[in-house]
């Protein structure tokens, strides 16, 4: 299970700020402020481009293709442990920036 603290740290590490979202209910439309949800849409929109950018910045030959296999391995490893692919991708991206420290 992903904690609120992990979500906050994750999005802050990626430079994603809290945003206003509209959620329509049965009667009114409610506006709330929060980080994007941990789902495949948000991860591919906000996080995956940052991972690719990160790998480009650390590669030796100016291309990221030499380091992406490490990320792919982490995704596959997490997919073995998680039923939800969004959580697996979230954990793999966490691993990318954890290895950086």
Tell me which residue of 75, 76, 99 sits closest to 89, measured CA to CA: 75
For every one of its 101 residues, what pLDDT tens digit does the chain have, with 9 covering 90 and above?
Answer: 899 999 999 999 988 888 766 655 555 555 667 888 899 989 988 898 888 777 665 555 555 454 555 667 777 777 788 888 899 889 888 887 776 65
């Amino acid at each position: 299970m992903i904690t609120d603290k992990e979500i906050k740290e994750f999005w802050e590490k990626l430079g994603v700020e809290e945003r206003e979202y509209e959620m329509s209910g049965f009667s009114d439309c409610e506006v709330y402020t929060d980080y994007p949800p941990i789902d495949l849409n948000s991860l591919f929109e906000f996080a995956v481009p940052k991972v690719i950018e990160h790998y480009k910045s650390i590669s030796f030959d100016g291309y990221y293709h030499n380091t992406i296999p490490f990320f792919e391995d982490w995704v596959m490893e997490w997919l073995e442990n998680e039923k939800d692919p969004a959580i697996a991708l979230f954990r793999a991206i966490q691993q990318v920036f954890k290895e950086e420290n």
